[in-house]
């Protein structure tokens, strides 16, 4: 009798990312949240093909989407880097125990440097929390935040950051014009509206977009307002963890033919 030599299916990450166009889409989304039109331009493929492969990546849990708050006809796609890390860990071990993926150690504080600007519309919550979280995580990074229509810091932003051991009492709202002409290694927009009006900065750092809902839009009651700010802070903390690794180990600029 012949022994059954069937093996388990290839790991999910390989099945999802092993196709070249899907790999290209993942690479683009690892840098920034993007719309279908942005991805079509980046990978040079027709919309039908890009949309088909995005559906595959969404069904596998690597990519999620949300409607743009600037234009409800648009949808931003986001790569879940945490989910990628989980699946990659299982991919190596599925082939051989010696290939178990070891998560990278936190980078040494002195290796994390650069100038980062976070932007949103009001500079009252998302960008202020992002600024504070990155400064707390990487004190040697010069980090700032601003808005296209600044307004006072939201009380829930103070409360959520205080819960995480960070004091926002020295922060003030600033207009993005205050930083015109300055050089930044990373300019990161957190609001779909400000992405549309963000000016160019010297050196053309390239705008990175994190499409995040405005937590203040959930309402001001404790039941819905505070949890929305807490969710925003959690998402920012996760994204900033990956940003810190990027600041410590910057990827060379790629050129497209």
Active-site residue set: 120, 191, 198
Tally of residues, the chain: 257
Strand segments, DSSP code E, in the chain are 34-35, 63-67, 75-79, 115-120, 142-147, 186-189, 207-209
Residue 33 phi, psi dihedral angles, 5° rounding: -70, 135
Strand segments, DSSP code E, in 30-81 are 34-35, 63-67, 75-79
Rg of the chain (C-alpha set):
20
d(CA 178, CA 169): 20
Alpha helices (H) in 113-166, listed in sequence order: 126-137, 155-163
């Amino acid at each position: 009798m012949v022994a059954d030599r069937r093996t388990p299916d290839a790991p999910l990450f390989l099945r999802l990312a092993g196709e070249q166009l899907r790999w290209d889409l993942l690479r683009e989304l690892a840098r920034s949240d993007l719309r279908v039109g942005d991805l079509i331009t980046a990978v040079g493929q027709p919309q039908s093909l890009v949309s088909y492969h995005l559906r595959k990546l969404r069904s596998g849990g690597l990519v999620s989407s949300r409607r743009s708050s600037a234009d409800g006809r648009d949808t931003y796609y986001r790569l879940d880097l945490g989910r990628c890390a989980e699946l990659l860990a299982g991919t190596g071990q599925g082939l051989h125990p010696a290939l178990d993926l070891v998560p990278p150690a936190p980078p040494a504080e002195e290796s994390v440097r650069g100038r980062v600007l976070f932007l949103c519309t009001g500079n009252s919550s998302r960008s202020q929390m992002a600024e504070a979280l990155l400064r707390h995580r990487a004190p040697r990074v010069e980090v700032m935040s601003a808005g296209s229509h600044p307004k006072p810091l939201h009380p829930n932003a103070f409360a959520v950051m205080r819960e995480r051991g960070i004091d926002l009492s020295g922060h003030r709202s600033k207009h993005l014009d205050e930083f015109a002409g300055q050089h930044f290694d990373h300019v990161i927009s957190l609001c779909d509206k400000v992405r549309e009006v963000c000016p160019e900065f010297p050196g053309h750092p390239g705008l990175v977009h994190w499409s995040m809902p405005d937590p203040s839009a959930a309402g001001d009651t404790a039941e819905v307002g505070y949890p929305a700010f807490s969710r925003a802070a959690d998402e920012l903390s996760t994204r900033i963890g990956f940003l810190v690794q990027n600041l410590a180990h910057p990827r060379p600029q790629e050129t497209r033919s």
